[in-house]
Amino acid sequence: MYVNFQDCECNGHSNRCSYIDFVNVVTCVSCKHNTRGQNCQYCRLGYYRNPELPLEDENICLACECNTEGSTSPYCSESGLCSCKSGTTGRSCDSCLPGYTWRGDGAGCTENMCDSERLICQNGGTCIDFQRCICPEKFTGPLCERNVCLKNKKCQENSDGSSSSSSSLTSQLYLLSLGLITCIF
């Protein structure tokens, strides 16, 4: 049963309402401007309320605009914050946390395998696209931290006859304690 427009309290977002007899409630029908609820007082899923505008304003509900690559859902919270994937930040999940890089291939932000600050390629390795180290031929490992050894477990030597490690003995001992160097020279 529909009631008169004058009886509707839809905050200007509908001019139709219905009386629900068994609960004695008047509810708005066909809320506009991306609103919903008994009095068109809430925003539809995928929208959030603009706190700077009065409830009657037709621009009260703003689109979430969650970044599809960086967020876990296209829907945001009531305050407009999107739920971000690991390593991603920002209201709409369109920025990376430190130590992460935006990929733009659907993955959002991925953790840096190497960089110029904390995960540095060792032994002359070169970091490529923050994701891998290109190692000199006598080193291997994610950060070029392991010496390549011959089958007889004797480490290769540089062309000048010196040891192939360009890092200090302290660094070698540290990497050895972590199990990252497979042979000692």
Q: Do domains 1-62 and 112-148 have the same CATH topology?
A: no
- Contact yes or no for 136/122 (Cβ under 8 A): no
Helix (H) and strand (E) counts in the chain: 1, 16
pLDDT of the residue at 67: 93
pLDDT of the residue at 157: 44
For the chain, which ranges sit under pLDDT 50? 1-3, 5, 150-152, 156-185
- Contact yes or no for 68/51 (Cβ under 8 A): no
pLDDT of the residue at 145: 85
**CATH of the structural domain 112-148, one choice from 1.10.630.10, 3.40.718.10, 2.10.25.10, 1.10.3720.10:** 2.10.25.10
Chain position carrying tokens 């994701």: 131
Length of the chain: 185
Q: Give me the residue spans of the domains in the chain.
A: 1-62, 112-148
Rg of the chain taking only CA atoms, in angstroms = 30
**CATH of the structural domain 1-62, one choice from 3.40.50.2300, 2.170.300.10, 3.40.50.620, 3.50.50.60:** 2.170.300.10
Partner residues linked to 127 by β-bridges? 133
pLDDT of the residue at 153: 52
Task: Determine the Cα–Cα distance for residues 173 and 178; give it in Å rounded to an integer.
Answer: 9
pLDDT of the residue at 126: 83
* pLDDT tens for each residue of 110-152: 888 777 766 788 888 888 777 888 888 888 888 888 888 644 3
